[in-house]
Chains A and B, each alone.
Chain A
């Protein structure tokens, strides 16, 4: 069940699915179901661990464990949507130029899925095409890179020939300080402005490709307009999610009386880190975090010497990070 959900979600992360997920969440908000969320923790961990080094700390840093804790809104959307989103992110964002790695990752991830073979084949074909294309455009990219590197204030580009004979764009000379000698493509204008315009457009399309890797589900749409639509939709979705989650938090907030008690403050650290249920090390951690004046006083002197023994890796990093960021983040307003 779970694998099917993951496979399906990771492939078809379209707007419709996202909307459905949002609706699901809203329904679940109405009736809080208490389920045991120990459906398949091993499988989830397995899936999440396949993502490799990129999102290791993210995922293994308690997110998967954390899904186990919260059962209020069902494990379905939790494990279905988010890890698959993670999967896409991890798979695709790992490589920028070569498309071979996502293939392997996708293969491993979908090892139980029904769509295994066709998807992997499709990706391999895509990869082959990509590598061939890359060889062709390699020189072009070189030219572009050199163009960009030498374009400081004014782009100074000179053409050797306004040639219509050449079909490939080549670098005819090693660029000097400011001049790039370019041979224009067949049938394209060669004056300065249009060349600069072309370079600018290529820059933009390169960045759009990068965005395409980030936004899930953008591979199916081609063309700038469609991709832009997808990207805009995705941003809107994320913003709506933030709004929705803040509404949820607002609902939960007064019932639990959050930041006024010590116990809940220590629990927060447990939410984001790996360890569940042991609050000893987290006490050590939250002392530098929350030195604010609260009603329930944090006894710094009492807590500190007791917990000096075993500091695990995530909480240690938490502490150092929190110290550094707490010191540097001082913009002086009340939020």
Chain B
């Protein structure tokens, strides 16, 4: 499943890994269901969606990708649990320092992308592109897994 470029590495683990994590999170969900929460379809759908994202982040690289870290951090915050990863050493190049100086950036074309990709707010554009590529691959894998599940569960 590896499609590695010369300099860019965006390997994504196989479908099995995603499937395992997703099923795990789903079973966690069902065992954790409190009796005071409304059991409507919307509520359950939202829970499943959150579980899907978190399982995808775990499966796709844990803490080795910026977007997965941001996703997991966000989910942990919603749960009122603080999870902090070991901070990777960031090389502060002169580019980054010059960006910090200019507070008002003209509305860039990449702003929308930053909003979509988790953790994209404070990344260099080249890094954003890498993260987007990996994110897209993981998302499509997650979609496939969920599709498999839905197809299997749907009444025959």
Q: How large is the interface on B (under 10, 10 to 19, 20 to 34, 35 or more residues)?
A: 35 or more
Q: Are A69 and B27 in contact (CB under 8 A)?
A: no
* B66 at the binding interface (Cβ < 8 Å): no
Q: Does B89 contact A (CB under 8 A)?
A: no
Question: Is the C-beta of B5 less than 8 angstroms from some C-beta in chain A?
Answer: yes
A179 within 8 A of B: no
Tell me the bound Cα distance from A62 to B152 in angstroms: 11
Chain B: interface secondary structure? helix
Interface centre among B44, B94, B148, B155 (most CB of A within 10 A): B148
Asked if A252 meets B113 with Cβ closer than 8 Å, knowing A54-B3, A57-B14, A335-B25, the reply is: no
A interface residues with partner B (beta carbon < 8 Å): 32, 34, 54-55, 57-58, 61-63, 66-67, 69-73, 78, 82, 85, 89, 93-94, 96-97, 148, 152-155, 196, 200, 203-204, 207-208, 210-211, 214-215, 224-225, 228, 231-232, 234-236, 238-239, 241-243, 245-254, 256, 258-260, 265, 267-268, 270-273, 289-290, 292-294, 314, 317-318, 321-322, 325-326, 328-329, 331-335
Question: Is B123's beta carbon under 8 Å from chain A?
Answer: no
Q: List 20 A-B contacts (CB under 8 A).
A: A57-B1, A67-B151, A70-B150, A70-B151, A71-B156, A72-B151, A72-B154, A85-B140, A89-B140, A97-B6, A155-B94, A207-B126, A245-B147, A247-B45, A259-B23, A259-B26, A271-B152, A332-B83, A333-B81, A335-B79
CA distance A200 to B129 in the complex (A): 13
List the B side residues contacting A322 at CB < 8 Å.
Answer: 16, 20
Please name all residues of chain A whose beta carbon is closer than 8 Å to the beta carbon of B31 when the two chains form the complex.
259, 292-294
- With both chains docked as a complex, state the minimum distance between the C-beta of A45 and any C-beta of chain B, in angstroms: 16
Q: A97: nearest residue on chain B (CB-CB)?
A: B6
Residue from B2, B16, B29, B47 in contact with A318 in the complex, judged by beta carbons closer than 8 Å: B16
Instruction: Tell me, rounded to whole Å, the shortest Cβ–Cβ distance linking B3 to chain A.
Output: 4
Inter-chain contacts of B142 with A (CB < 8 A) = 242
Q: Hey, which bits of chain B sit against chain A, CB under 8 A?
A: 1-8, 14-17, 19-21, 23-32, 39, 41-42, 44-55, 58-59, 62, 72, 75-76, 79, 81, 83, 91, 93-95, 109-110, 112-113, 116-117, 125-126, 129-130, 132-133, 135-137, 139-140, 142-156
